[in-house]
Structure 1
Amino acid sequence: MSQHSVHNPFSQFRKPFTVDEVLAAPPITYPLTLPMCAPLSDGAAAAILCTEEGLRRMGADRSRCIRVAASVMRSFSHRSIDQPQQGAAHLAARQAYEQAGIGPDDVGVAEVHDASATGEIIQVENLGFVPFGEGGAAAERGEFTLGGRLPVNPSGGLESKGHPLGATGLGQLFELTTQLRGEAGGRQVPGVRHAIQENGGGLLGIEEAAVAVTILSR
């Protein structure tokens, strides 16, 4: 979301767009215009994962440590277009919620793969934030913006933050870790205890070839 990226110093594009500007931009493929598609970006990301014993050995500041509550990967599913509930991302999300012992209502912030603007609408439905078919209307109501019911892509998302391909998923987790630490500045979502990430890659049939869903908790 371009309105979110203005608060992210690591974002590739920090200019907010109005709806009229987006619709008037050069077309890519109907109905997508240029600002509705992610750029290819340079970038890198890294994460340090360790056990409780590892934390003790490193003498880490435990107040800044974030727990991986769930991590699920799934391959694409053989489904028809009218079976969204059988999609890989939705099944991975259900499995992740079960692992973490929480549900969609417990999530305070999300980072999802929005290589195009439709991606965010599809994934908020897959993650169970709204019923299938209602993602677009909820987005129009502002439910997924900062200050809304459940902020999505406070980093600016792939379209504004950038899409460095191999580093994209860890970039999402960096944003969620920053949110859970309360260090996100002007884009901070208050009181976050659980955060979810969805990232997909490739295309087989009508969905991603592979999907990862991760839940982080304080």
Structure 2
Amino acid sequence: MEDVCVIGAGSTKYGKLEDSLADITVQSSASAIESAGIEPKEIKAGYISNVFGVADKQVHLGPVVMSNLGIPERPSLSIESACGSGSVSFREAFANVAAGFYDAVLVTGVEKVTHTGTEWTTTYFSYCSDFFYEGQAGASFPGLFASMARAYLAEFGATEEDFAMVAVKNHDNGLLNPKAHLRKKITVDDVMRSPVVASPLKLYDCCPFSDGASSVILCSKKFAQEHGGDYIKVTGSGRGGSPAALQGRERITTIPSTKIAADAAYRMAGITPRDIDFAEVHDCFTIAEVVDSEDLGFFEKGQGYRAARENRTARDGDIPINPSGGLKSKGHPIGATGVGQVVEVYEQLTGKAGQRNLKNVSTGLTHNFGATGASCAVHIFESV
């Protein structure tokens, strides 16, 4: 298997964007190509993650992007895996480079939905659940994650203020990210006083709907060394699945797909959770980050909320989580989210994160799942 590296990364701002789906995809792709110091013709294939292209009247996005980059003859693959699309796209690209099919590929994730309005956007999102048992029955994603939060509070004795600490920490991180959707400092009291969306989750427990695109260039180690730019190694990759409907799981205070994907990634990398310096995890709701931190092995089950309370996941804590601001503050353009996490890891490990740069980090992890964790991918990266 070929060693695989990330040699360049780029992203648009996340938030409400005016440009078209195709335009923002090309913008982030061109930024990643420039970051890598390569020419578009050196890219051998494209992997494009997008979920709701129909909302902007553009499906089959891959050939459009490759054509606009001046390489229409290059093959492309469009990938949908709900909110986990970006990490699944990255995984497919990783596998093809590792197998030796291509020496350099483009991975781009993108979403544009804010123009459809809250009602339609919420409806689109509901299609990512097990629609017959959940969305069609009126169970929105806030409602489903609220069920997880309520069960967690009852099982482990956490408080709603503990969840609020996650939001406060991620907003603090987002203030340092010029491309974040919500650059706003908040307090625990702000979270607790914000409108209830689905009890016990309040408005500030929830990530926003966002537009945006993120891109990276994946390549073989030989290609990276020949081109002489900054690069990082992909040392671990894992995928896992869970029952599609929340009701089908034995416990709803854990996400099986995360544990499966993480175990596979750790095995491939030959490390343990203790060796991870920082992580970008899927915090679509504050309860998700708490559960993620446990399922990824950073804390024992039922201790994630204590870690949040004790600031152990802050920038200067034991294991910084979501230095980008996470989905909660950076934003959640669902097709782009998993790729955007890789952009953050690349910038952190190459010293290009500006004010966000963490000190003394050499190993980072990304964790991205779809729906309530029905599908998941985890990747591990090391500096060189």
Do both proteins adopt the same fold according to a TM-score greater than 0.5, normalized to the shorter chain?
yes
Q: Which amino acid aligns with 1:122?
A: V
Cα RMSD, aligned residues only: 1.5
Shift of 1:187: 1.9
How has the CA–CA distance of structure 1 residues 18 and 82 changed in structure 2, closer, same or farther, with 3 Å as cutoff? closer
Pair 1:134-2:306 in alignment: no
Q: Specify the SS of the correspondent of 1:44.
A: strand
Q: Which amino acid aligns with 1:80?
A: E
Unpaired segments ≥5 residues, structure 1: none
Shift of 1:53: 2.8
* TM-score, length of structure 2 as denominator length: 0.53
Matches of 1:120 and 1:48, distance apart in 2: 27
Q: Deviations over 1:71-129 (max 9, x none)?
A: 11112156411784x81101211111110011111111100001101110000001101
Matches of 2:349 and 2:272, distance apart in 1: 17
Q: Percent identity?
A: 39
Pair 1:180-2:346 in alignment: no
Matches of 1:8 and 1:55, distance apart in 2: 27
Matches of 1:132 and 1:94, distance apart in 2: 15
Pair 1:26-2:195 in alignment: yes
Q: Specify the SS of the correspondent of 1:124.
A: helix
Pair 1:101-2:270 in alignment: yes
Q: Specify the SS of the correspondent of 2:219.
A: coil
Write out aligned runs for 1:36-75 (5 A): 36-56=205-225, 59-61=227-229, 64-75=230-241
Q: Which amino acid aligns with 1:74?
A: G
Q: Deviations over 1:155-214 (max 9, x none)?
A: 1110110000000000011111111112222222111111011100024xxxx1100100
Corresponding position of 1:154: 323
Higher relative contact order (CA 8 A, sep 6+): 1
How has the CA–CA distance of structure 1 residues 83 and 143 changed in structure 2, closer, same or farther, with 3 Å as cutoff? closer
Unpaired segments ≥5 residues, structure 2: 1-169
The answer to whether the Cα contact below 8 Å between 2:238 and 2:263 also exists between their aligned partners in 1 is no
Bigger Cα displacement from structure 2, 9-18 vs 69-78: 69-78
Matches of 1:192 and 1:24, distance apart in 2: 36
Q: Specify the SS of the correspondent of 2:213.
A: coil
Corresponding position of 2:84: none
Q: Which amino acid aligns with 1:156?
A: G
Corresponding position of 2:21: none
Q: Specify the SS of the correspondent of 1:41.
A: coil
Name which of 80, 89, 104 aligns with 2:250.
Answer: 80
Matches of 1:90 and 1:19, distance apart in 2: 30
> Which structure has more helix as a fraction of its residues?
2
Q: Specify the SS of the correspondent of 2:217.
A: coil
The answer to whether the Cα contact below 8 Å between 2:212 and 2:336 also exists between their aligned partners in 1 is yes
Matches of 1:186 and 1:47, distance apart in 2: 21
Q: Deviations over 1:124-146 (max 9, x none)?
A: 00110100010001110000011
How has the CA–CA distance of structure 1 residues 82 and 155 changed in structure 2, closer, same or farther, with 3 Å as cutoff? closer
Greater gyration radius: 2
The answer to whether the Cα contact below 8 Å between 2:240 and 2:256 also exists between their aligned partners in 1 is no
Aligned residues: 210
Shift >2 Å, 4+ stretches? 52-57
Corresponding position of 1:189: 358
Corresponding position of 1:212: 377
